[in-house]
Structure 1
Amino acid sequence: MSKKKHILVISQYFYPEPFRINDMCVELVKRGYKVTVLTGIPNYPQGEYYEGYSLTRKRTEEWNGIRIVRIPLMARGKSSIGLICNYLSFAASGYIWKSLSKIKVDYVFSFEVSPMTQALIGCWYARKHQVPHYLYVQDLWPENVITVTGISNPIVIKPIDKMVDYIYKNTDEIFATSPSFVEAICNRKTSVSHSKVHYWPQYAEDFYKPMEKTSVEEIPEDDSFKVIFTGNIGTAQGLQILPQAAEILREENVKFVIVGDGRYLDEFEQEIQKRNVQDKFIMIARQPAERIPELLAACDAAFLSFQNDELWTKTIPAKLQSYMACGMPIIASAEGETERIITEAECGVCSAIGDVDKLSENIIIMTKDDLNKMRHNSRKYFERNFEKQELMDQIEQYFNR
């Protein structure tokens, strides 16, 4: 590369918040790019600013060769109002920053997990400076808003729809995490050309790899069949099905290991107590991502599920790639894209979203199955479809057009 290209990455969430964009930026630096990240003050998922960060502290930072610029935003808190203020404050700060910033870049890359409002900053900056804008869509809007909040009133949804149209129009290339997302974007009323929308799945960081089973302090070494869930504990994950399954499996030698936290955690623990299945659950606080492979290796199968909504049938969750990278057999309460991948890979079992009886039956089947083949298949499918270097090569081809 004759000249070190400069990429401005727009992401409301960034290190030390645990998102995959962190690793993507580190990889871009390794590939010779100069990377500046415009982000907020870290507060995800607990809703309060991380220790050491505030509106007046650590507003700029250097990390792994990346320059991080943090613009003001309100912490997300625990309420819906707090979340809305969090979303809007980042976009508003970004508009002001765009007007005042003297940073010159070659490309803008917007990493879009909710909220999509953050991608506006990428559009504004790219338009002002006449540089290409690339958008990585991980959450579909307004579908995500309707599903997560239950709000479908046109007074709220129509302006969001118009905002999404504006963002897609002002983006040169759009990347989406599933084939269904590609179709959903292209089939909007205000059509988006297929030529600029591409399926680009998520990868898992290099530290996600199969590990030998070793003792882990938090997980008792006994002969129970352990099913592990890792990640955000929110309403979208549909985890209420696990206490229900635990009740059905009361007499089976099965335990559920839950690693993480989130807005639904308190309610989830109340549901466990309500059904009197506390002995079936091992609750572990949120861990650094680098520890997840070790925790997975201490268990027999990994679990993922969704809330019952059509949107989640179109979604390939990031934890699926993480599980497969570690060679985990997978038990899922999922349909659509997730079911397709697990079926193609022959690495686990799926039941319909919300079908607790079938899920319980599948868990019993898995306790008696030979899981070695599933472990092998899981890792092999990952290597063929979600390998980091190959996917980063693909994105780099678009940068160098």
Structure 2
Amino acid sequence: MSKKILIVTECFYPEEFKINELALEWKNKGYHVDVLTMVPSYPKSEIFDGYKNKWFQKDNWNDIAIYRVKAVTGYKKSLFKKLLKYFAFMFMGSVISLKIGKKYDYIFGFQVGPLTGMVPAVILKQFYKKPVTLWIQDIWPDSVYAYGFKKTKFLEYFLNCFVKYVYKHASNFAISAKGFEQKIIPYLNDKKEIIYATNWADYLNKNLEKFVLSDDDKIHFTFAGNIGKVQNLDNIILAFGSLEESLLDKTQLNIIGDGSYLEKLKSIVKERKFRNIVFWGRKPREEIYKYLEASDLLIVSLINKEIFSLTVPAKTQTYIAARKPILGIINGEAQNIIKENNLGLVASPNNIQEIKTIFKIAISLDTQDRKAYSENCEFLTNTVFNKETIINNLLELLKRG
């Protein structure tokens, strides 16, 4: 009889996250895979077409049973609803987890958002002694403070106790960025295995019809992904918009995606009368390659906060797989990957003049430079960021739990 795996994740198909591919791969290897998640609503904070926002429902995707609990909507514009969404999944997910969890051999938590979402996973070790592996994509409590919550003594005490509780009841950990290890260890009372399992690139359909980002011949810089305050796009727009007219004439900044900060960015462009900055809106993930392929350089960026210096945005691997030079307007681990592997150019995220300078350098890159960056991207995709290797490593870690 095949071993049974329960995946606990706030987001799952049809929402677009790596956990979808992971679940399919494990099922195809002969494991019985079920998922505990919410009714899909990310990123628009609206329930997806074809779904009803019930307190509990069960559906099926590619022979994977999906247990869903009610999702709080409207969180895109409301901090209260965002917090309510997190706690709602923690409590409702835990009820369902305790009800169904006894039959599984392994529990796998995909922590792509707040750590509260991992409580329905770790309680299965606490109550049923099940092995629990957490794949950490975001570090608490650091990310709480990074998003603007004031670090009071009470909040710090509460969050530290909560993190210790979750980590205590995890068997082992996979981390998407190497810097996360130093943040996890202080919360552990005993030694637990921690492996580095970065995100792999999104699937890129390279058979799509060719696309052009402008009718005239320009050098195209492109950012693709979630558009929030932490993506630092306001500084990128300010740097690009202040380029000399002669440079602006031959280049274009493309912003592809949607998010809570999009309207603010549009107002900056309008108020300052910046030109050659185009907002394309959100595009289907399966079509994203044609936009990346039509670009000359791809931008990855985050604001200058310590927690984000430990983070490698998932889009980084997708950019690398697209074999395009990268502009890393970011500190820490992501910047190190770009510099150490010679994948492109980097700048400090809070230094607008420095960002402006690398735009100028990038515009003047010759064909040989771009080719070298592209070849280095291809090598990295086939080695460190190899999807099959990462998925196998996660499975072996789960079995060791």
TM-score normalised to structure 2 length: 0.93
Q: Structure 1's 238 and 31: CA in aligned 2 closer, same or farther, altered over 3 A? A: same
Match of 1:216 among 211, 214, 220: 211
1:170 alignment partner AA? H
Give, in whole Å, the separation in 2 of the partners of 1:53 and 1:149: 33
Structure 2 runs not aligned, ≥5 long: none
Give runs of aligned pairs for residues 41-52 of structure 1, distance below 5 A: 41-52=39-50
Give, in whole Å, the separation in 1 of the partners of 2:137 and 2:163: 13
**3-state DSSP class of the match of 2:50?**
coil
Give runs of aligned pairs for residues 39-188 of structure 1, distance below 5 A: 39-56=37-54, 59-75=57-73, 76-101=75-100, 104-186=103-185, 188=186
Give, in whole Å, the separation in 1 of the partners of 2:318 and 2:292: 10
Give runs of aligned pairs for residues 1-400 of structure 1, distance below 5 A: 3-56=1-54, 59-75=57-73, 76-101=75-100, 104-186=103-185, 188=186, 190-191=187-188, 193=190, 195-205=192-202, 207-208=203-204, 211=206, 215-216=210-211, 219-251=213-245, 252=247, 253-277=250-274, 279-369=275-365, 370=367, 371-400=370-399
Q: Structure 1's 342 and 194: CA in aligned 2 closer, same or farther, altered over 3 A? A: farther
**3-state DSSP class of the match of 2:379?**
helix
Preserved CA contact (<8 Å) 1:215 1:221: no
1:218-257 Cα offsets, whole Å, 9 max, x none, are x224211111111100111111112201222251122111
Preserved CA contact (<8 Å) 2:328 2:346: yes
Give, in whole Å, the separation in 1 of the partners of 2:54 and 2:398: 35
Preserved CA contact (<8 Å) 2:289 2:322: yes
Give, in whole Å, the separation in 2 of the partners of 1:377 and 1:141: 33
1:10-65 Cα offsets, whole Å, 9 max, x none, are 00111111111111111111111111110001111111212222323993221122
Q: Structure 1's 212 and 21: CA in aligned 2 closer, same or farther, altered over 3 A? A: closer
Preserved CA contact (<8 Å) 2:219 2:363: yes
Give, in whole Å, the separation in 2 of the partners of 1:170 and 1:400: 16
Give, in whole Å, the separation in 1 of the partners of 2:199 and 2:396: 17
1:96-129 Cα offsets, whole Å, 9 max, x none, are 2134336611100000022110111101123322
User: 1:325 deviation in Å?
Assistant: 1.1
Q: Structure 1's 87 and 102: CA in aligned 2 closer, same or farther, altered over 3 A? A: closer
Give, in whole Å, the separation in 2 of the partners of 1:58 and 1:280: 47
**3-state DSSP class of the match of 1:299?**
coil
User: 1:354 deviation in Å?
Assistant: 1.4
Give, in whole Å, the separation in 2 of the partners of 1:132 and 1:11: 16
Identity of counterpart residues, as a percentage?
Answer: 27
Preserved CA contact (<8 Å) 1:307 1:353: yes
1:57-94 Cα offsets, whole Å, 9 max, x none, are 99322112211111123122411111001111111101
| Bigger relative CO (Cα 8 Å, ≥ 6 apart) | 2
TM-score normalised to structure 1 length: 0.93
Q: Structure 1's 354 and 393: CA in aligned 2 closer, same or farther, altered over 3 A? A: same
Give, in whole Å, the separation in 2 of the partners of 1:247 and 1:46: 28
User: 1:138 deviation in Å?
Assistant: 0.5
Give, in whole Å, the separation in 2 of the partners of 1:108 and 1:213: 38
Q: Please provide the CA RMSD for this pair.
A: 1.9
Q: Structure 1's 71 and 367: CA in aligned 2 closer, same or farther, altered over 3 A? A: same
317-326 or 41-50: bigger deviation: 41-50
Give, in whole Å, the separation in 2 of the partners of 1:246 and 1:346: 23
1:246 alignment partner AA? F
Q: Structure 1's 99 and 347: CA in aligned 2 closer, same or farther, altered over 3 A? A: closer
User: 1:195 deviation in Å?
Assistant: 4.1
Give, in whole Å, the separation in 2 of the partners of 1:241 and 1:135: 34
1:263 alignment partner AA? S
Preserved CA contact (<8 Å) 2:41 2:71: no
Preserved CA contact (<8 Å) 1:214 1:298: no
1:145-182 Cα offsets, whole Å, 9 max, x none, are 10012321222232122111111110001111111101
User: 1:308 deviation in Å?
Assistant: 1.5
Give, in whole Å, the separation in 2 of the partners of 1:295 and 1:316: 21
